[in-house]
Amino acid sequence: GGGGAVILRSLLGSKELMNVIWLTLTAPNQPMENVITLQSGSAGRGPRSVGKDTTIYAGVLSREVLRIAKARNVAAIWVVMHNAAVPIAANMIRAGRFPVHLTVHDDPAFANALRSKRYVALVPWIESRFAYAIKRAKSTDVICSAMDDRYRERYGVCSVVIHRALDASIRAGLLYDAERHGLRIGVLGSTYSYEPLPLLARAVELAAQRLNLPGRL
């Protein structure tokens, strides 16, 4: 789920999508083909806990991923480096059974954990697992050139930049009526600081005024 899955699915063709087994720590709202919810972490024991999955359950989750990979005879493991996937990726690489590719949309230690109140104490652990994985992965893709520069300087690795964008305008959905719904702008992904948000809200407000429509962010 989330913005990461939207990006990945948009990069894959229909045939490629059918050849991917998706493993997730958060069960989808409805059953989906080729999607497996991991059961050995906190989700299989009660309320979901990102902290526990990233620390005490990371080992058993990694072993579950390896069992599935072996049973399905997969060619490689592709990990989106977010939350508990970070130590899982490090464990997959240490096991040495499959080539591992990493995708980084948000820096796990310094963009997510460090800026949170709940997981700031885990920053050293997350960063150590991230460093181990990115230095030894078969390949890595990142979201922008600044991230590529950062990881080259900090970890000595080169990444492929995949800056996902649309090359043409898209048609409005059949259910969307500007007169009835107004100007609606959606944000998908993480916000790292507060300062840009009022600027975005002001831009939406100004655009809505020019269009003579109600605005919503």
What is the reported pTM?
0.83
Higher pLDDT: 95 or 10? It is: 95
Torsion region of 165: left, alpha or beta (phi above 0 gives left; psi -120 to 50 gives alpha): beta
Residue 181 has a pLDDT of 83
Asked if residue 86 lies in contact with residue 54, where contact means CB atoms within 8 angstroms, the answer is: yes
**pLDDT per residue as tens digits for the range 38-69:** 999 998 788 889 999 999 999 999 999 999 99
Query: Would you state the pLDDT for residue 1?
Result: 64
Q: What is the mean pLDDT of residues 83-107?
A: 96
Mean pLDDT of 109-115: 91
The pLDDT assigned to 147 comes to 94
CA 71 → CA 21, 66, 68, 74, 79, distances in Å?
12, 8, 5, 8, 18
Rounded to an integer, the average pLDDT of 173-180 is: 77
| Amino acid at the residue 35 | V
Average pLDDT for residues 81-87, to the nearest whole number? 95
Distance from C-alpha of 152 to C-alpha of 162, rounded to nearest angstrom = 16
- State the chain's mean pLDDT as an integer: 90
